[in-house]
């Protein structure tokens, strides 16, 4: 009595698939040879580059004009209660010795806006400008 496989075919059915897989593997090794070792990555320079980029983005200094006067601003991050917050400072050395400061804000732009507002309030209080002139920033 001859034995038959459940599919009705005799022989081992997995062998052709195994041969095809081996053939494809050999072809891939011939077409794509193993890469030569590259120069190792200098982790210190990568970390330094990333840190410089982050610091440049977080700390910001610049110039702006307030009521025709050239002013300087500084924005800097601080960590409070495990949260990144910003403080800002605005001063106009050629115009006044007043210094506008802001508290802690989640946005660096909000911190700058509040520091500018603080400077303008001080300027109005000192009589350097009128409320109408400073109205845009108050």
Residues 78-119: pLDDT tens digits? Answer: 888 889 899 999 999 999 999 999 999 999 999 999 999 999
Q: Is pLDDT at 9 greater than 50 in this prediction?
A: no
pLDDT in the model for residue 4: 44
- Sheet strands side by side (includes 60-66): 60-66, 69-80, 83-91, 99-101
Q: Is pLDDT at 43 greater than 80 in this prediction?
A: no
The token duo for 64 is 């702006």
pLDDT in the model for residue 106: 92
Domain positions in the chain are 60-134
For residue 8, name the pLDDT band (cuts at 50, 70, 90). very low
Q: Is pLDDT at 1 greater than 70 in this prediction?
A: no
User: Pairing state of beta strands 83-91 and 60-66?
Assistant: unpaired
pLDDT in the model for residue 127: 93
Per the model's pLDDT, the better-predicted residue between 74 and 19 turns out to be: 74
**pTM here?**
0.62
Q: CA torsion angle for 109, 112, 117, 119 (degrees, to 10)?
A: -170
119 and 98 Cβ atoms separated by less than 8 Å: yes
Q: Please name the fold of domain 60-134.
A: Double Stranded RNA Binding Domain (3.30.160)
pLDDT in the model for residue 112: 95
């Amino acid at each position: 009595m001859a034995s038959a496989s459940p599919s009705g075919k005799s022989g081992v059915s997995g062998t052709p698939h195994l041969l095809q897989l081996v053939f494809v593997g050999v072809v891939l090794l011939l077409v794509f040879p193993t890469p030569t070792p590259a120069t190792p990555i200098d982790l210190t320079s990568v970390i330094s580059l990333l840190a410089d980029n982050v610091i440049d983005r977080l700390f910001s200094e610049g110039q702006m004009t307030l009521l025709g006067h050239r002013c300087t601003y500084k924005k800097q991050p601080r960590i409070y209660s495990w949260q990144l917050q910003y403080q800002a400072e605005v001063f106009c050395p050629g115009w006044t010795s007043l210094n506008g400061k802001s508290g802690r804000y989640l946005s660096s732009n909000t911190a700058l806006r509040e520091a500018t507002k603080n400077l303008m309030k001080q300027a109005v209080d000192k009589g350097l400008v009128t409320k109408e002139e400073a109205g845009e920033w108050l």
